Amino acid sequence: MTGTRDKQTEERHRAMVDLLRKRGIRSQRVLDAMQRVPRDIFVPRHLAELAYEDGALPIGEGQTISQPYVVALMTEAAGISAESRVLEIGTGSGYSTAVLASIAGQVFSIERHEALAEAALRRLSETGVENATIKIGDGTLGWPERAPFDAIVVAAAGPRIPDALRAQLAIGGRLIMPVGSGAGPQTLTSVVRRGTNDFETRSLSKVSFVPLIGAQGWQR
Q: 3-state class of 75 per DSSP?
A: helix
Q: CB 195 → ligand SAM: shortest distance, Å? A: 27
Task: Rule CB under 6 A: say whether 95 interacts with ligand SAM.
Answer: yes
By CB under 6 A, residue 124 contacts ligand SAM: no
The residue range among 46-54, 144-152, 181-189, 207-215 that interacts with ligand SAM, by the rule CB under 6 A, is 207-215
What share of residues in the chain are helix, strand, coil (percent, to 5)? Answer: 35, 30, 35
Q: Which stretch binds ligand SAM (CB under 6 A): 30-38, 170-178, 199-207, 209-217?
A: 209-217
In sequence order, which residues have a C-beta less than 8 Å from that of residue 145 and are 6 or more positions away? none
Shortest distance in whole angstroms from residue 69 CB to ligand SAM: 12
Give the neighbor-by-neighbor strand order of the sheet with 132-136. Answer: 132-136, 106-111, 85-89, 149-154, 169-179, 186-195, 198-207
Binding site for ligand SAM (CB under 6 A): 63-66, 71, 89-90, 92-93, 95-96, 110-113, 116, 138-140, 155-156, 209-210, 212-214, 217
